[in-house]
Amino acid sequence: MFPIQSVWLIRISLIYLIIGSSLGALLMVNKAIDFDQRIWSLLPLHYTILIWGFFIQLIMGTAYWMFPKFLSNRPRGSSWQTWFVFYNYNLGLVLYLITKFMIPINPLTLLGKFLIFLGLVTFIKLTWTRVISYT
């Protein structure tokens, strides 16, 4: 059965794909029809959304579903840890995107990076224990 945490990680990653692709389309239209050169300042936002929002979350959602399962009643481990990953990662990414590209020097940028890091480390721990304990 497909876990609900994977469903939400993949759904949110597809929302980031739509947003990032829309920014990319805007950049390409601006390349063909020169509206305003300031639009090119959205390029770092474009690839940050696609890499950290779409690609990494799609990998996390798929890996959480497909990696080996524990041979117990909770085959994927603690569900609250996965929700912790989901909320921390997405809150951190939104904080990072808002503060990094709107207000360059802000302590919330560091908080966003820390929440992304905390989400990734928790996901690695959650997945790694499943890999090394599988026999």
Q: List pLDDT tens digits, range 109-127.
A: 889 999 999 999 999 988 8
Give the pLDDT of residue 79: 78
What tokens appear for 16 in the block? 């980031």
Per-residue pLDDT, averaged over 65-88, amounts to 77
Residue 28 has pLDDT above 70, yes or no: yes
For 72, phi and psi rounded to 5 degrees?
-150, -170
Residue 42 identity: L
Task: Determine what percent of the chain falls in helix, strand and coil, rounding each to the nearest 5.
Answer: 80, 0, 20
The residue assigned the tokens 């945490």 is 5
Dist. CA 35–CA 100, nearest whole Å: 24
Question: For the chain, what are the domain ranges?
Answer: 4-132
The pTM score is: 0.86
Of 15, 122, 132, 113, the C-alpha closest to 79 is 122
Task: Specify the fold of 4-132.
Answer: Four Helix Bundle (Hemerythrin (Met), subunit A) (1.20.120)
